[in-house]
Structure formats: structure tokens, C-alpha cells
């Protein structure tokens, strides 16, 4: 028996069990705290949308002469975030579409964003993008980079 000054008496087996339970709670508590903080919306890292001409997502992808800065009125349909324990090929970003419920025929686009949690899924934004030519890549689409945004609804 192990006696403590607080008046509790434990067997060695009970003491080990209590130690293991405390250790398990401490480890899982850290995981729970970490995942909760990730689920919250992130602090804004981009400025408000710029005063630029508004174009369609298709025009930004294919017909805008580069380099240029344009605005897109788009719905964020998905936050594309790499889980913390994985090495993802694509960077974190957002998936946007011109309507809130894109179907297979509508144009969607995944755009890299450093902190995608600053956006909210199913919300409509005015998104300012820098449009550049994807030099060195075998792609016939312009490269889009988010440089600002404003909530529209």
C-alpha cells in the first residue's frame, strides 16, 4: 500500500492505473485542445477587396490578358485544408464557384490561400485576384492569386 499525506491509500496497481489514466487524459486533452483551435475561423490575413473590374471566373481563368488584377463574385464552396499529420501536394486553399451549389457542369476553381479558415463555406465574397501567366507550366489557364476579399452577403 502507498499512503499519501492527503489521507488516500492506494495499492501499487491502483497508483499505476491512476498514473496511466492521468497521462492518457493529458495527452488526449492536448489533442482535443489543438483540434478545437483549428476549427475556429482564422484571423484575417488579406485586405478588403480592391477596386477592380469584375469578371466571371471563366474569363479570369482563360481570357483576361496577363498580368492584371480583377474581382470575382464567387461562393466559397469548400475549404481545402491539408490535415496536420499529412504532407499534401497541393497547398491549402479555397474552392470557389459562381453559384452556391455548383453542379458537374459549372466551373469551380481551387485557389491557394495561406489561411483558408478566414473564409466561411457557403458564403459569397468579392474576391480580388492577381491574374498571371503560368510560365513554365504546360497549362492553358491563367494563374489566380487571392490578394483581397470582402463578404458580399
First to last CA, the chain: 66
Report whether 132 contacts 66 (CB < 8 A).
Answer: yes
Residues 64 and 42 sit within 8 Å (Cβ to Cβ):
no
In angstroms, rounded to a whole number, what is the distance separating the alpha carbons of residues 48 and 60?
Answer: 19
pTM of structure: 0.70
Model confidence over 53-109: pLDDT tens digits?
A: 999 999 999 899 999 999 999 999 999 999 988 899 999 999 999 988 777 667 789
Confidence of residue 134 (pLDDT cuts 50, 70, 90): confident
Domain boundaries, the chain: 2-39, 57-151
Residues 6+ apart with CB under 8 A from 93: 80, 110, 111, 112, 113, 116
pLDDT of residue 22: 45
**pLDDT, the chain, mean:** 80
Q: Has residue 131 got a pLDDT over 50?
A: yes
* Least trusted range by pLDDT, from 35-39, 100-104, 123-127: 35-39
Quote the pLDDT of residue 136: 63
Amino acid at each position: 500500500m502507498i499512503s499519501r499525506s492527503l489521507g488516500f491509500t492506494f495499492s501499487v496497481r491502483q497508483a499505476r492505473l491512476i498514473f496511466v489514466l492521468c497521462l492518457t487524459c493529458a495527452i488526449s486533452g492536448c489533442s482535443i485542445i489543438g483540434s478545437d483551435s483549428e476549427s475556429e475561423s482564422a484571423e484575417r490575413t488579406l485586405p478588403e477587396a480592391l477596386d477592380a473590374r469584375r469578371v466571371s471566373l471563366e474569363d479570369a481563368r482563360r481570357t483576361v490578358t496577363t498580368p492584371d488584377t480583377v474581382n470575382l463574385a464567387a461562393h466559397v464552396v469548400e475549404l481545402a485544408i491539408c490535415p496536420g499529420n499529412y504532407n499534401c501536394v497541393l497547398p491549402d486553399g479555397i474552392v470557389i464557384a459562381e453559384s452556391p451549389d455548383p453542379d458537374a457542369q459549372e466551373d469551380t476553381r481551387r485557389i491557394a490561400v495561406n489561411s483558408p479558415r478566414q473564409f466561411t463555406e457557403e458564403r459569397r465574397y468579392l474576391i480580388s485576384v492577381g491574374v498571371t501567366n503560368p510560365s513554365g507550366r504546360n497549362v492553358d489557364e491563367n494563374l489566380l492569386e487571392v490578394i483581397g476579399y470582402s463578404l458580399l452577403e
